[in-house]
Structure 1
Amino acid sequence: MNYEPKNKDYRKRVQASFDRQKFMDLIGAELVEVTPGYCEIKVPFNESLTQQHGFFHAGVISTLADNTAGYAAFSLMEADSTILTVEFKLNLLAPGKGDVLIGKAEVIKNGRTLTICRSEIYAFRDGNATLCAAGLSTLIELKNKSDYR
C-alpha cells in the first residue's frame, strides 16, 4: 500500500526513537529500512538471545514483531504524537534458527487513532530464509504527546 507520511522528517524521527530504546541496543538490533507504512529491523545471532535448544528466544522474536509494527505505524504519524502498542498476536511458525533474524512489518489499516500492522519475522541461515513468526498488531497514536520521556 502507498501511504503519505504526515511528517516529512519521519525517517529521522523513527531513527531517533529507535536509538532511545535501550533494549534494542541490548539485543544488537539495527533499524534497516523505514518507508511510509513499512519497517525492517534485524538482530544478529548471539548466544545470550537463545532459549534452551539454541534457537532465538520467542521473546526476541516477539520484540521484533512489536517494534517493526510500531515503527511502520509511527512513520505515518504527526510530528507531535507518540505511539503505543494496544495489543498484538503472534503465531510462532518455526524455530528461530539462524545467523540473523529480520523482522518486516507493514501497515494494513491506518485509522484516525488506531493503526493495524502485519509483521513477519524471518530466520536466515546460510542465505536461506525461514518464516518463523507472523503477527498482527494494533497501535494507538497519542496526539500532542512527546515521544521523549
Structure 2
Amino acid sequence: MKSYIFSSVFFILTLFTTTHMTAQESTDGKNNYVVLTKKIAQLQPIILTAEALKAEEGDAYGDFQIIICGKEIGDITDPEKIDHFIEKAEKAGVQLIACGFSLNKFKVDKTKVPTKMTTVENGILYNFQLQKKGYKSITL
C-alpha cells in the first residue's frame, strides 16, 4: 500500500515538473506575447502595452507579435491608416502580422500588404501555435 501511494505521488510530481520545464524551454525564460486584433485602431493601445511591458520586465521581456485578422484587414493596404503604426511597432520591437486567410476571404490584394509586415497562412492557427510555445495571448 505504501509503495502504491509513493509511486502515485512520484508520478504526479514528475508529470507536473516535466510540464513546467517544457514551457520554460520553449520560451527561453522570456515573457512572450501575441495579440490577435480585428481593428487597426487597436494597434495604438496594443503597441503602448508592449512598450510598457518591455520597460517593466527588462531582460525578462521577449517577443511581442500582433496578428491582424478579420473584415477590416484591407486597412493594412492603406498607407494613411497603417504606416504610422508600422513605424511605432518597429521602434517598439513589435512584429505586425497579417492573416492570409482574412486577406483571401476579403479579397485584399496581397501585393499591397506593406513589405515590413509578415503574412501567415492562417492567423488563428498561428496564434495557437505561439500559445503552444508558451506565448501569453489575448484576442481583441
TM range (shorter): under 0.3
More helix by share: 2
Structure ranking higher on relative contact order (CA contacts 8 Å, 6+ apart): 2
Q: Which of the two has greater strand per residue?
A: 1
Taking structure 1 as the reference length, what is the TM-score of the superposition?
A: 0.25
TM-score, scaled relative to structure 2: 0.26
| Larger Rg, first or second structure (1 or 2) | 2
